[in-house]
Structure 1
């Protein structure tokens, strides 16, 4: 009888624990594996720059985490290719790729892709030092545990595009002004000499 009670108690605890983990928006993908970030941060040289496309917080609002998951996942895949097949760094990177995938799979793929397209003009391509890069991953994962899911995103207006033609035109105008200013002392000097000649 006592054995059955203990078994039932264990089963109920397991069910309640599972329900607690599965409830909420993003869930809780952050586990003790986040401590591996410090190991990666230590193993990869500080001077090594890592490429990534990201969306700044001030441009994405409440959707900052949601809209940065896939670009970060792709960046980690590129970083994993740097290491050999047998590498602890590659194994740790794959863990974070899996964590990001688990976050992404909680949302409708087409809706996520459509929202990313709406914000496309606000994404930035940068190369970050390894320390800043892994701090960014930590911020994404920590924010994911405290943020509700959903696509309540309103993009700000896209920045005005700068065309190569307009840049060349501005440069030409600046150079023309400089040339005119450089010619200005010639007539001024001539006038001074003329006045001195007339007076004398």
Structure 2
């Protein structure tokens, strides 16, 4: 069975294909080419469900989606669900620079990457929905380091690491990241539901 990955973000598609690998068994992960819904939820889980529901409704197929971002303690959890559009331009570099500017002089630089991964299975007997959420704790650096990854990776140092997320190899990141944890937890539910 095909499972739609409800995102137009090419970086995220590539990362999730690496994270999930052959863990989907006989099921095939396919890209979503439908309309983007308005993400007006007030939590990561709500926005993940908005995207998964839209993809499932558009395609008639089971869909998975995530909503993720960085939550900074000193900023009351901001940018949070607004991480991708924090600077108002949807540009990773602009978002990163604004966050560094907003943390200038701040000594408490604790932060977490957060991911909510949602699954929606449409059906005549009703829709099945499930979500898993995970946090990857660390801190915001004072300047960017590394060229890997995307988004806030160059300024995020995971707890217990000496390198930024952008300095980790793709395999290292995909073994421990917020997205890897959330989708790792979700995939068991997806398999048991689709294989039942």
- TM-score w.r.t. structure 2 length? 0.22
Question: Comparing both structures, which one devotes a greater share of its residues to helix?
Answer: 1
Structure with the larger strand share: 2
Quick one: higher RCO (CA 8 Å, sep 6+), 1 or 2? 1
